[in-house]
Chain A
Amino acid sequence: KQEVTQIPAALSVPEGENLVLNCSFTDSAIYNLQWFRQDPGKGLTSLLLIQSSQREQTSGRLNASLDKSSGRSTLYIAASQPGDSATYLCAVPPQGGSEKLVFGKGTKLTVNP
């Protein structure tokens, strides 16, 4: 059974700092990995999707890496801003499937002005 763990559970940083969020998963036979952002009481916004054949994916100040063999992904946020404050979730399909997602519990990020 696929399990996803995110560390840390919460992170508070000053504005401008570069930061790394971690995600690990137990079954490396994944089809892809997605990073999402969730603002309080809201839905999820897809940030980045990394296919299993890729090592990393970039979008603006965000860079996600994937090491499938070790079951790890990191989300790097450069030059953090108060508007980046949100909960960040990573998710993978279980057992190599491409449909249902298994989510981590998320990292709650606070960027202080």
Chain B
Amino acid sequence: SAVISQKPSRDICQRGTSLTIQCQVDSQVTMMFWYRQQPGQSLTLIATANQGSEATYESGFVIDKFPISRPNLTFSTLTVSNMSPEDSSIYLCSVEDVTSGLYEQYFGPGTRLTVT
């Protein structure tokens, strides 16, 4: 199974600022995913990040608001730009392990963001 770390684990930010969240995996993976979990809600996929190409965003999410980088096969960043209180959520990255043929997904510990 993949081991995923995220930084920061939590942050409190002022509206109008930006925060970059880092995701590091202990093995090389093709696809990395960024999810958002708003308070009391389930997870919603923001975008899929492949190394060497532009991220693919889900409906309702745009690159200007959530720019993503994927410089190599073990690392990705998600930036939450021009934040508002509505961006207060847990942000999680995940990877898909295809080596076993099971396509099991593993998640990082999450970044808890509060925007004041």
Contact = CB atoms under 8 A, between A and B. Distances in A.
Contacts, number: 60
A106 B106 CA distance: 17
A99 B90 contact: no
- Per DSSP, chain B at the interface is strand
Contacts of B58: 100
Contact of A89 (B6, B42, B44): B42
Q: How extensive is the interface on chain B, given as a class?
A: 20 to 34
A101 B45 contact: yes
Contacts of A104: 42
Interface residues of A, number: 23
A31 B103 contact: yes
A44 B107 contact: yes
Contacts of A103: 42-44
B42 A36 contact: no
A43 B105 contact: no
